[in-house]
A and B are shown apart, each in its own frame.
Chain A
Amino acid sequence: MKKSWAIMRRDLIKLSRAPALVVASVVMPVLFLVIFGNSLQGQLKHLPLVIVSQDQGPYGIRVLERIQALAAGPQTITISYRHDPGKALQEVRVGHYKAALVIPPDFSRDIIAGRIGELGLFVDNVDSISTAALKAVVGQATATLRSNYVTAREPKLNEIALRSSNLFVTVDYDRSLIPGVIVMALFMGSMTSGVFNWIMDRFSGVTEAHLVTPLSPWNIASGLLASSVLATTCEAILVLIAGLALTGGGIAGGMRALGMLCGVIVLTGTGLLAMMFAMYSRTSNPRLIGGPASFLNMILFFPSGALYPIESLPPWLHSFTRWNPETHAIRALKSVMFKGADFAAISADVAFLAAFTAIMLLLAAATLKRSL
């Protein structure tokens, strides 16, 4: 134990002499939070729409008014006007606008005459997400076009009312990324400490110098693992604090929740570090870590539910998420952070993480045994 502590002490002193590494491990995930969180705010805003209105009749004017109201309210669109439909279409083609809405000259006349009134919506369908949003906006504007007004009164007895209620406080998209960013910090920490230090020591002959002392390989590995768990946990907690500060607000559940968060962070960090040991402890060149580990980071991170609901994934990928430790870590962190969940609510995820960590530690021990 004292010998493992000596290795841990050595590793922590070395880490303290490399503040740039610690700062990068914290700053990079936080930068991801800031940039990604603000890049994908969940709802689309200010999609540029150009309108060519050739109808001065009542329904043409009503379409315009409703679209203007939607532009002023949810701000999903920003409107410009043109007289020439050809020019408007050209501007969509060259990317100035996402879509052109053409209200033809006989639009009102057709509706009044009982015929189907047709509007032309010319979309930049290369961007499918914007196209869907624009179609929804125009569809919303034309849905009740034949009604003169929309009632604000209570529905009648034979009508069905849907009342939606939020069970939890509203979580903005950037704030919802914090658990994912914490797990990202843990993964990055597991790449830059732990097994990386192990390989560097072997590469530079330091391990050999250690092995002619009474240190056992287990002293070395457990010391490195312990220092790395401590370092990555501290980094993840710093990321948590920075994330909360940047997005505003605290943690639902107070100190009890903070304790649970730390527990999940330690468990996840240990599991990821052990996984990296299991994968790389037999590698002799530090250059072999960077590429594959970055790729693994993406494979685990994107289908984890950190950025987008896992329910959107195809069935085969959805199955993978059940075995992805990052999915369980992020779900547990989200439950504790945003829902004030108690331990029972996250026990299944914690059990998975504990089993994953135990298996990875066993695998790491097996590969370590063969590599020494």
Chain B
Amino acid sequence: MHANPAAIQAADLTKRFGKFTAVDHVTFEVGRGELFGLLGPNGAGKTTLIRILTTLLRPTSGQAWVAGHDVIRAPRRVRQEIGVVPQALTSDLELTAWQNLDIYGQFYGLPRAARHARADHLLAMVGLRERAHDMVATYSGGMRRRLEIARGLIHMPRVLFLDEPTLGLDPQARRAVWELLEQLRAESELTISLTTHYMDEAEKLCDRIAIIDGGKIVASGTTQQLKAMVKGSDRIKLEVTGDPTSAITALRGLPYVLEISQDSDGAITIATADGAHATPQMIERLEQAGAKIQAMSIEQISLEDVFLSFTGRHLREESTSRAAPLPDPLFAPAQPRRIT
């Protein structure tokens, strides 16, 4: 048992598949009760990292502890403490939802009465009580995903790993999964580790986010902290009457203005670290310069911009362009090599 109170701790974790490094000296901590997001494109190393933390893969080097147990030295204890909702939908289609939960309860050695009660409770929680005794084959993708979350909770784990839990779901089903996770957070002290490549999902759900790219964590923190790390996290958009060049000249040199550019439609975009304080100064300067403001808006940069800032690439472009040539550890090894 590790003395560190963190629910998850990774120290210099590295995983190589031949010459390809899937996880590259990753270090991070997740506090108890925290919802921690790993955000990155396909092939970034998220799933490999989760596989190491859930004892499916042995790291090439480094150490990790989950719920205080060493994933290499005490994998059985780790398995007893974690629930995992894998990326693929793996509930048995020929079984009912209730049977799926009951059998998983048996895997954890739960007594019959306890697992029956737990199955009933969880099915009610995920909104599947009415369909509990229907075969899973008749479920929609969203229902199956909710069942998988219930399955991951059957033994009351201390840490729940969710690997791309809303992948392939329609917006309504995604929202249902989000609500379920928020409900879980509200009702328990459960620590949740969530991997996703959806910005909005990470932003909405996670207490802290780590941006992972090329197997490395390039930045981590709360959403606000991540945005603040980017130079000019507020964007002010202006439309002025007349020639915008004179307005641009007037705005240059103001203390809060970090970057200024003209869009193709003639609008001016100003990058600033503090939009609230920069705006009055800009208005005053423009009035002095005789420019008349037609429209003005302030918006904070998105996680997409944060990702772009740290990696130099757009997340969605990455998802499509880089996933193919990389040896995806999901499919590269024919079978998981679990630490025994």
Give A contacts to B, CB under 8 Å. Answer: 2-3, 5-6, 9-10, 13-14, 17-18, 202, 204-217, 282, 284, 371-372
Q: Say which residue of A5, A208, A215, A284 sits within 8 Å of B86 (CB atoms).
A: A208
What mask results when residues 227 to 264 of chain B are scored 1 for a CB within 8 Å of chain A, else 0?
Answer: 00000000000000000000000000000000000000
A247 CA to B335 CA, complexed, in Å: 47
Contact: B86 with A209, CB < 8 Å?
yes
Interface membership of B74, Cβ < 8 A: no
Q: Name which residue of chain B comes closest to A281, CB basis.
A: B335
Indicate whether A207 sits within 8 Å of B335 (C-beta atoms), given known contacts A2-B109, A212-B79: yes
Which residues in B have their C-beta under 8 angstroms from that of A14?
92, 94-95
Contact: B107 with A284, CB < 8 Å?
no
Q: Name which residue of chain B comes closest to A371, CB basis.
A: B335
Instruction: List 21 interface pairs A-B (beta carbons < 8 Å), by A numbering.
Output: A2-B106, A3-B109, A6-B107, A10-B92, A10-B95, A10-B99, A10-B103, A204-B88, A205-B88, A205-B90, A208-B90, A211-B55, A211-B338, A212-B54, A212-B79, A212-B86, A213-B108, A214-B76, A214-B80, A214-B107, A214-B109
Contact: B95 with A208, CB < 8 Å?
no
B228 to chain A, nearest CB (A): 36
Interface membership of B84, Cβ < 8 A: yes
A83 CA to B338 CA, complexed, in Å: 84
Which residues in A have their C-beta under 8 angstroms from that of B79?
212-214
Please provide the 8 A-B residue pairs with the shortest distance between their CB atoms, ordered closest to farther: A6-B106, A205-B88, A284-B334, A209-B90, A17-B94, A212-B84, A213-B107, A14-B94
Indicate whether A212 sits within 8 Å of B56 (C-beta atoms), given known contacts A3-B106, A6-B106, A372-B337: yes
B104 to chain A, nearest CB (A): 7
Interface membership of B268, Cβ < 8 A: no
Which residues in A have their C-beta under 8 angstroms from that of B135?
17
A6 CA to B104 CA, complexed, in Å: 8
Q: Say which residue of A5, A211, A284 sits within 8 Å of B56 (CB atoms).
A: A211
Interface membership of B202, Cβ < 8 A: no
Indicate whether A208 sits within 8 Å of B56 (C-beta atoms), given known contacts A5-B106, A17-B94, A372-B337: yes
Which residues in B have their C-beta under 8 angstroms from that of A206?
90, 92
Interface membership of B5, Cβ < 8 A: no
Which residues in A have their C-beta under 8 angstroms from that of B22?
none
Contact: A202 with B109, CB < 8 Å?
no
Which residues in A have their C-beta under 8 angstroms from that of B107?
3, 6, 210, 213-215
Q: Is the interface of A mostly helix, strand, loop or mixed?
A: helix
B243 to chain A, nearest CB (A): 61
Give B contacts to A, CB under 8 Å. Answer: 54-56, 76, 79-80, 82, 84, 86-88, 90, 92, 94-95, 99, 103-104, 106-109, 135, 334-338, 340
Q: Is the interface of B mostly helix, strand, loop or mixed?
A: loop
Indicate whether A18 sits within 8 Å of B94 (C-beta atoms), given known contacts A3-B106, A213-B108: yes
A137 CA to B286 CA, complexed, in Å: 121
Contact: B335 with A372, CB < 8 Å?
yes
Indicate whether A212 sits within 8 Å of B55 (C-beta atoms), given known contacts A2-B106, A207-B336: yes
A6 CA to B110 CA, complexed, in Å: 11
A2 CA to B54 CA, complexed, in Å: 23
Q: Say which residue of B56, B80, B95, B334 sits within 8 Å of A13 (CB atoms).
A: B95
B201 to chain A, nearest CB (A): 21
Contact: A211 with B336, CB < 8 Å?
yes
In the complex, besides A17-B94, A205-B88, A208-B86, 17 extra interface pairs with C-beta distance below 8 angstroms are A2-B106, A3-B107, A6-B106, A14-B92, A204-B88, A204-B90, A206-B92, A208-B336, A209-B84, A211-B336, A213-B79, A216-B340, A217-B340, A284-B334, A284-B335, A372-B336, A372-B338
B253 to chain A, nearest CB (A): 58
B101 to chain A, nearest CB (A): 12
A314 CA to B79 CA, complexed, in Å: 57
Q: Name which residue of chain A comes closest to B80, CB basis.
A: A214
Contact: B106 with A9, CB < 8 Å?
yes
Indicate whether A9 sits within 8 Å of B103 (C-beta atoms), given known contacts A3-B109, A214-B108: yes
Which residues in A have their C-beta under 8 angstroms from that of B56?
208, 211-212
A209 CA to B147 CA, complexed, in Å: 13
Which residues in A have their C-beta under 8 angstroms from that of B340?
216-217, 372
A13 CA to B337 CA, complexed, in Å: 28
Q: Name which residue of chain B comes closest to A10, CB basis.
A: B103
A224 to chain B, nearest CB (A): 13
> Counting chain B CB atoms within 10 Å of each CB, which of A6, A213, A282, A284 scores highest?
A213
Q: Name which residue of chain A comes closest to B76, CB basis.
A: A214
A12 to chain B, nearest CB (A): 11
Which residues in B have their C-beta under 8 angstroms from that of A18?
94
Which residues in A have their C-beta under 8 angstroms from that of B55?
211-212
Which residues in B have their C-beta under 8 angstroms from that of A284?
334-335
A71 CA to B336 CA, complexed, in Å: 70
A259 CA to B56 CA, complexed, in Å: 44
Which residues in B have their C-beta under 8 angstroms from that of A204?
88, 90
A213 CA to B85 CA, complexed, in Å: 11
A186 CA to B269 CA, complexed, in Å: 75
A217 CA to B79 CA, complexed, in Å: 14
A226 to chain B, nearest CB (A): 15
Contact: B109 with A205, CB < 8 Å?
no
A306 to chain B, nearest CB (A): 34
Contact: A13 with B106, CB < 8 Å?
no
> Counting chain B CB atoms within 10 Å of each CB, which of A2, A13, A371 scores highest?
A13
A211 CA to B135 CA, complexed, in Å: 23
Which residues in B have their C-beta under 8 angstroms from that of A3?
106-107, 109
Which residues in A have their C-beta under 8 angstroms from that of B108?
213-214
Which residues in B have their C-beta under 8 angstroms from that of A217?
338, 340
Contact: A13 with B99, CB < 8 Å?
yes
Which residues in B have their C-beta under 8 angstroms from that of A372?
335-338, 340
A23 CA to B214 CA, complexed, in Å: 51
Q: Name which residue of chain B comes closest to A284, CB basis.
A: B334
A213 CA to B107 CA, complexed, in Å: 7
Which residues in B have their C-beta under 8 angstroms from that of A209?
84, 86, 90
Which residues in A have their C-beta under 8 angstroms from that of B334?
202, 282, 284
Contact: B82 with A212, CB < 8 Å?
yes
A204 CA to B331 CA, complexed, in Å: 11
A284 CA to B80 CA, complexed, in Å: 27
Q: Name which residue of chain A comes closest to B100, CB basis.
A: A10
